Structure 1
Amino acid sequence: MPLRHDFASALPGMFLDWTADPVPHPQVLRLNRPLARELGLPDDLPATLLAGLDLPEGARPVAQAYAGHQFGGFSPRLGDGRALLLGEVSGPDGRLHDIALKGSGRTPFSRGADGKAALGPVLREYIVAEGMHALGIPTTRALAVLTTGEEVLRENGPLPGAVLVRVASSHLRVGSFQYLAAQGDAEGVKRLADYAIARHYPHRAGDYVGFFADVAAAQARLIAQWMLVGFVHGVMNTDNMTISGETIDYGPCAFMEAYAPGTVYSSIDRQGRYAYANQPLILGWNLARLAETLLPLIDADEARAVERATRILEGVAGLYQDAWLTGMRAKLGLDGADAGDRALAEEFLEGIEGADWTLCFRRLSQAITDDTALRERLFKDHWLDGWLARWRARLAPDAAARMDAVNPIYIPRNERVEEALAAAQAGDMAPFERLLDALSDPFTEREGLENLALPASEGFGRYRTFCGT
């Protein structure tokens, strides 16, 4: 697995050279062979190499530096506290992909933490990231999960240790720009912007306004896709917002089951800042923070720079709404575009509040001819008759097939995820593999997987997710 180290060569001051902690007995628990093949890598990569202990040719392990607004408060120095970028691999398509470790031990950015990862959170990231990829949502992905042969101590006691090998288009974040801007390093910001443009938006070479507009558009599309599948990221800090437009950091994330706009799963989001319905608002807030770092590049005259950046920021809500409505038309099977489509979609959402998001949309295709299954999913249906008539009048000729191609039957349901993680930590990977298999083809309903499509049982209780640290 020969690697490049373009990031480390191009961006001095953005990292610290570091090495992974040695672990007693690294073993490959799960290798993502399809992803390995996509990257042109062998599917028998040894554990010591994947753990960063035997470095591949060209590797230069570094802990990346970045800043970030965390729940609204700015931290000028965060960085990889338990992660290392080993380098980049050039895939068969010529594009670079980061190969990084998560859970590889303390770094100078660890802020008192142990730098380790427990097996449960690592497997959660694998499951959810692969689920997102199969749904067509841009995301970082897991190349491998390694067990380390050691235990890590968490609030609920010692847990089996693990390392995640993560693949990303890059790990550049809004917080990467904030890190340099906070130091007043204007040349560093320019160097970083030029690197990000060359890597992700090469058609924007020298055009920093266009670069910012492209990042805003990519993120608007991404958040719209989250909303359309009921995904709650849980920790939309600026250091978790990528320049590439990929989903990153599957810590306290979850898929919403019963539809409620105020849904929060993260145990640390006590004010609901990153609730489901707030995600589009945080999109704009985070992009404004990126704009602040780019102002000197956008225009030498600060007033003009603010005006040009503001013009783009003012268009973000429209970009998001357009992407969301396009996706909602597909989910509803509508024919073309009509001025009343937004109202039609919003009325449906109002009507299904409290019911299962995924199954209401999935069973909607059956309601073209028989609405029995849909009515079984709703707690209130007094609105449904009138809505169905207006909806049926707007349907595309092949609406049912179109809808089933975009409305999944299988998502990483919270109870099923927890069952798979508990079994894996006890040494049984079968539930994990079964869930992963279903999520790899989320739109095709299959016999024998019925329980993976069901909402959580009554005894499951209120669901809470936690950061892996």
Structure 2
Amino acid sequence: MKIPFDNSYVNLPAQLYVATPPTPVPAPVLISYNQALADDLGIQGAPDLAILAGNAIPEGAAPIAQAYAGHQFGQWNPQLGDGRAVLLGEMIDHAGLRRDIQLKGSGQTPFSRRGDGRAWLGPVLREYLVSEAMHALGVPTTRALAAVTTGQDIARETLLPGAVLARVAQSHIRVGTFQYFAARQDLVALRALTDHVIARHYPTAADPAALLDQVITRYAQLIAQWMGFGFIHGVMNTDNVSIAGETIDYGPCAFMDGFHPSQVFSAIDRQGRYAYANQPQIGAWNMAQFATSLIPLMPDQDAAIEQFTAAVNRFGDIYLAAWRAVFAAKIGIFDPTPEDTGLIQTLLDLMASERADFTGVFAHLGSDTARDQFIDRAAFDAWAVDWKARRSNDFAAIMAGANPRIIPRNHQVEAAIQAAVAGDFAPFHAMLGAVTQPFAPLTQATARYATPPTSAEQVTRTFCGT
């Protein structure tokens, strides 16, 4: 297994990271290897279990744990960092894009904060399934290269099988990375980090102000895509916000079944801070924290505060335009206008009033079974009159590319995890095959993944893996 490393982050000031090798595990076994992703990355040879488990450091790697801070549920934590992950190194893929390869669950680091640095099997399989599903849906995301079991139980509420996820990202730089150095008034590291991010992710940005504008745009568009698939991230802390604009850190995440704007799944989100409908405003709040961290780099900080405040205030308009485009496609409108907002919202209000299945409604929309998704069919019929007058001539083709039939439904993810804990990985592999073909016609084998849970199957709470 030859990985063509081309490392750059380790050339930045030393305070941005700590050199940290992964901790070996006793008996690794490969669960899954993403050969298609490996081919895209230019990785040659068969998967090397020792490398993927953290038992061997490949040639050219420069394993490090990255430093960062963050606001967690709105509360400032001045030091977080990679507490259970090691960045093996970077490489340039076949498209010319720089990518990180990270081992998650690879043991203790200087940032572990008394944690064991490990991951148990459930969160590894959840992230593998959901991140690969998100990629198939067309949402910017980290990817799963491989998952292995470690042959070592770890203690959570009980003893659980350990696992390691090999994760690929455009980078693992976060809003919290900037906050870490801004809070310490380390302008040397902050400036080096900013220059690195501009060169790596936003080469057309001339200065920190332009960087802020572009990150805001990319992040607003990302959240609009989440909303369009009924996705709830669950823990939108600033240390979980990728500067590259990718979905990162799949902890207590979930896709909604029955739709309701105030839906929360995360067991630790007791106040609903990161509820579905709150994600856009939290996105703007996170961008305000990013803007604050860039102000020390500006020559006129008073002028920068005014300029950056205006930039953050534009988040809402950027998001609304992206949201309207996402949902317009879901109802077959090619050229949305502001007037379409009301048409979209009326449908969502009807769905919310009945807790209609989010994915099912849009998957059936335009077919003879559309009105069967609602109890109040007269209300749907009334909405459909306006919709049919507005939708594009090729609405069916537009909707087919915007509305998945299959998402990683919570009850099926949990069932796959429970089977895996018992030693049966077949449900995981079957589900992975289904969720990575979300727009494909249903078959006898995949139809069950499009079925909403029964009342007894519903999963109402999800958990972080730490």
1:412 aligns with 408
1:439 aligns with 435
1:463 to 2:460 alignment? yes
Q: Deviations over 1:311-362 (max 9, x none)?
A: 1111100000000001111111025234421000000000111110001011
> Which consecutive unaligned segments of at least 5 residues does structure 1 have?
none
Q: Which of 119, 122, 138 is matched with 2:121 structurally?
A: 119
In the TM superposition, what is the alpha-carbon distance from 1:29 to its structure 2 partner?
Answer: 1.4
SS of structure 2 residue aligned to 1:3: coil
CA contact (8 A) 1:116 1:152 kept: yes
In the TM superposition, what is the alpha-carbon distance from 1:365 to its structure 2 partner?
Answer: 2.0
Q: Deviations over 1:297-324 (max 9, x none)?
A: 2x32222001110111111000000000
Relative distance call for 1:294 and 1:335 in structure 2 (3 A) is closer
Relative distance call for 1:199 and 1:338 in structure 2 (3 A) is closer
CA contact (8 A) 1:3 1:56 kept: no
1:139 to 2:141 alignment? yes
CA contact (8 A) 2:25 2:54 kept: no
CA distance in structure 2 between the aligned counterparts of 1:40 and 1:142, rounded to whole angstroms: 15
1:160 aligns with 161
Percent identity of equivalent pairs: 49
CA distance in structure 2 between the aligned counterparts of 1:289 and 1:188, rounded to whole angstroms: 18
CA contact (8 A) 1:420 1:431 kept: yes
Q: How does 1:57-72 map to 2 (within 5 A)?
A: 57-72=59-74
SS of structure 1 residue aligned to 2:147: strand
AA aligned opposite 2:411:
E
2:344 aligns with 345
2:86 aligns with 84
CA contact (8 A) 1:36 1:43 kept: no
In the TM superposition, what is the alpha-carbon distance from 1:290 to its structure 2 partner?
Answer: 0.4
Q: Deviations over 1:150-204 (max 9, x none)?
A: 111111x211110000000000000000000111112211110000001001122
CA contact (8 A) 2:411 2:458 kept: no
Q: Deviations over 1:380-400 (max 9, x none)?
A: 334222211110011211111
1:55 aligns with 57
CA distance in structure 1 between the aligned counterparts of 2:160 and 2:423, rounded to whole angstroms: 12
CA contact (8 A) 1:291 1:309 kept: yes
1:197 aligns with 198
CA contact (8 A) 1:33 1:43 kept: no
In the TM superposition, what is the alpha-carbon distance from 1:375 to its structure 2 partner?
Answer: 2.4
1:289 to 2:289 alignment? yes
CA distance in structure 1 between the aligned counterparts of 2:338 and 2:279, rounded to whole angstroms: 25
CA distance in structure 2 between the aligned counterparts of 1:397 and 1:190, rounded to whole angstroms: 51
* Corresponding pairs, count: 461
CA distance in structure 2 between the aligned counterparts of 1:154 and 1:261, rounded to whole angstroms: 32
AA aligned opposite 2:263:
T
CA distance in structure 1 between the aligned counterparts of 2:286 and 2:249, rounded to whole angstroms: 16
CA contact (8 A) 1:2 1:56 kept: no
AA aligned opposite 1:399:
F
